[in-house]
Amino acid sequence: DQQVKQNSPSLSVQEGRISILNCDYTNSMFDYFLWYKKYPAEGPTFLISISSIKDKNEDGRFTVFLNKSAKHLSLHIVPSQPGDSAVYFCAATDAGGTSYGKLTFGQGTILTVHP
């Protein structure tokens, strides 16, 4: 049972435009959500997170939106840059804020930003 799903395997965006990566979850116990960026043969790099008590969190060019009723979150990257090209993973946890490491990951979305 895939509790976290990223239904778009890939996304292609022009430099300077907005990239929107989507993620859906089924487990209503999840209360903390994270986005990671991963290059080949490297470990994932933490980008941004959001608690279930919020519906938006912003950090520079990255904004994460959470819609709890729809069990949906999205990552917006504005403006997109060629260096953003990577695999993006959505992750979730139901640890109640005490242990953020036990994550359930989506399958990942390959983002390609064209110059």
Partner 1 sequence: SQTIHQWPATLVQPVGSPLSLECTVEGTSNPNLYWYRQAAGRGLQLLFYSVGIGQISSEVPQNLSASRPQDRQFILSSKKLLLSDSGFYLCAWGATGGGPFFGPGTRLTVL
Q: Closer to partner 1 at the Cβ: 15 or 59?
A: 59
15-23, 38-46, 60-68, 71-79 -> range binding partner 1 (CB under 8 A)? 38-46
Q: What tokens appear for 38 in the block?
A: 């991963």
Of 57, 74, 81, 107, which one interacts with partner 1 (CB under 8 A)? 107
- The answer to whether 26 contacts partner 1 (rule: CB under 8 A) is no
Check residue 62 for interaction with partner 1 (CB under 8 A).
no
Task: Output the smallest distance, CB 24 to partner 1, in A.
Answer: 14
Q: How far is the CB of 52 from partner 1 (least distance, A)?
A: 15
CA distances (Å), origin 111, targets 38, 41, 55, 61: 10, 16, 24, 15
100 binding partner 1? (CB under 8 A): yes
Q: Cα 78 to the chain's mean position, in Å? A: 14
Name the nearest CA neighbour of 80 among 90, 70, 88: 88
Q: Stretches 12-20, 34-42, 67-75, 77-85: which one binds partner 1 (CB under 8 A)?
A: 34-42
CA 6 to CA 86: how far, in whole Å? 15
User: Cβ of residue 42: shortest distance to partner 1, in angstroms?
Assistant: 6
End-to-end CA distance of the chain: 38
Distance CA 49, CA 35 (A): 6
